Amino acid sequence: MAFDSFQDFLAMGGHAPYVWASWGVTGALLIGIVLHARAERRRLLRMLQRRHRRQAATNQTSHRTGGERHEA
């Protein structure tokens, strides 16, 4: 352990603003990248599912109309 107390750790020997700014921005960007990638994937999957359901629905209706026509 390079520091005597938690206060010391936060103070970083007087360099706190620089160390924590660098680490903070890096951490925020890394987390932001992950969140963005996750949101992107979810959005795409939702979009694909919507399209899938819509297609399934149109397939069914076209089946049904086709069937009715056949009966008629």
Partner 1 sequence: MGKIWSFIHKLGSPKWFYGISARLMPWFWTAAVVLILAGSVWGLAFAPQDYQQGNSFRIIYVHVPAAFLAQSIFVSMAVAGLIFMVWKIKVADMAAAMMAPLGAAMTFIALFSGAVWGVPTWGTWWMWDARLTSMLILLFLYLGVIALRGAFSSRDSGSRAASVLAMVGVINIPIIKYSVDWWYTLHQPATFSVTSRPAMPMEMWAPLLIMVLGFYCFFIAVTLMRTRSEILRRESNKRWVRDIAGEQG
CA atoms within 13 A on the CB side of 63: 6
Cα angle value 4/8/14 (rounded, 5°): 135
**CB contact at 8 A, 20 and 12:** yes
* Shortest spacing between CB 42 and partner 1, in angstroms: 9
By CB under 8 A, is residue 2 in contact with partner 1?
yes
The binding track of 3-32 with respect to partner 1, each residue x by CB under 8 A or -, is: x-----x--xxxx--xx-xxx-xx--xx--
Structure tokens at 64: 């049904």
Give residues in contact with partner 1 (CB under 8 A): 1-3, 9, 12-15, 18-19, 21-23, 25-26, 29-30, 33-34, 37-38, 40-41, 44-45, 47-49, 51-53, 55-56
